[in-house]
């Protein structure tokens, strides 16, 4: 019996918990090692410059991984799926929760961020298929979605992320988190903003300052050119329509 059939025959009451369980399973397992970029650091030029990519992946992200490893060692926490760890920080020793929140969050967020980008022109230029339909029915149009998402990134004071998430009820939402918080973090993120991220944008200054200086909106406008819509659609379909 496939999932859709199961939901339709057992009622909407169980749909939420099924989707939440599936959301966890749908996210790729992320361990505590850093993957290389799937493209050269200059591949996102001119929208994201090579030096920023090199420092961002090779220094910033690498440091989150190192510090996450140190926190797990200090707490004698068995390294496992970091997605699972950040989703339930309260299950970790109290002394390590902040470090795993920051560095585990940083590791997960960046691992996903690199996959959500691809050289301009290498794939679909916007959301297609079921994802495109869901975005249009939720946000009126693709342009309205992009405007809302860009606003979430622009209005985030200081450092953080803008997100497109699939909530436990299967609905799409645009949210934002400070620092390295992730929409999967129960007990950290407001319940109404919990969900599985299928697209995220890093709006920390380290993500854009060399090329865009203080002009965060220009960075966000350019970033749409390198969004990996095929990957976003894949995330949406595995999260919400199995
Ligand atoms: Mn970053």
Q: Are 230 and 135 members of one domain?
A: yes
Q: How far is the CA of 145 from the centre of ligand 1 (A)?
A: 23
Q: How far is the CA of 88 from the centre of ligand 1 (A)?
A: 22
**Which residue is listed with tokens 């940083």?**
106
Q: Are 67 and 150 members of one domain?
A: no
Supply the CATH number for residue 62's domain: 1.10.287.990
Q: How far is the CA of 17 from the centre of ligand 1 (A)?
A: 32
Domain end among 115, 144, 176: 115
| pLDDT tens-digit series, residues 95-143 | 999 999 999 999 999 999 999 999 999 999 999 999 999 999 999 999 9
Q: How far is the CA of 204 from the centre of ligand 1 (A)?
A: 6
Q: Please indicate, yes or no, if residue 143 is contained in any of the structural domains.
A: yes
Which distant-in-sequence residues (6+ apart) come within 8 Å of 25 by Cβ? none
Task: State the chain's mean pLDDT as an integer.
Answer: 90
Helix, strand or coil for residue 202?
Answer: strand
Q: Are 13 and 110 members of one domain?
A: yes
Q: Are 83 and 45 members of one domain?
A: yes
Q: How far is the CA of 4 from the centre of ligand 1 (A)?
A: 37
| pLDDT tens-digit series, residues 14-41 | 344 444 444 444 566 899 999 999 999 9
Q: Are 134 and 236 members of one domain?
A: yes
Domain assignment of residue 20, given as a range? 3-115
Number of domains present in the structure of the chain: 2
Task: Name the H helices within 116-157.
Answer: 129-139, 142-155
Q: How far is the CA of 67 from the centre of ligand 1 (A)?
A: 15
| pLDDT tens-digit series, residues 65-84 | 999 999 999 999 998 999 99
Domain end among 92, 115, 138: 115
- Tell me if 186 sits within 8 A of 87, measured CB to CB: yes
* Tokens (6 digits) for 211: 């090329």
The pTM assigned to this predicted structure is 0.89
């Amino acid at each position: 019996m496939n999932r859709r059939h199961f939901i339709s025959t057992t009622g909407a009451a169980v749909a939420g918990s099924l989707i939440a369980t599936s959301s966890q399973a749908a996210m790729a397992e992320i361990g505590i090692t850093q993957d290389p970029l799937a493209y050269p650091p200059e591949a996102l030029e001119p929208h994201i410059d090579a030096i920023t990519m090199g420092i961002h992946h090779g220094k910033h992200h690498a440091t989150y991984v190192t510090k996450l490893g140190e926190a797990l060692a200090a707490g004698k926490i068995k390294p496992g799926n970091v997605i699972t760890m950040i989703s339930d920080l309260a299950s970790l020793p109290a002394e390590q929760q902040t470090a795993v929140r920051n560095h585990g969050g940083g590791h997960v967020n960046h691992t996903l961020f690199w996959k959500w980008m691809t050289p301009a022109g290498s794939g679909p230029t916007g959301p297609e298929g079921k994802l495109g339909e869901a975005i249009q029915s939720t946000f009126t149009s693709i342009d309205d979605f992009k405007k809302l998402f860009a606003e979430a990134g622009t209005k985030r004071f200081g450092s953080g992320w803008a997100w497109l998430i699939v909530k436990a009820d299967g609905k799409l939402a645009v949210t934002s988190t400070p620092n390295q918080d992730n929409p999967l973090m129960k007990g950290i993120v407001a319940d109404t903003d919990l969900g599985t991220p299928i697209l995220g944008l890093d709006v920390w200054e380290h993500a854009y300052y060399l090329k865009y200086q203080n002009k965060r909106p220009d960075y966000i406008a350019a970033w749409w050119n390198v969004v990996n819509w095929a990957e976003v659609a894949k995330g949406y379909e595995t999260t919400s329509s199995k």
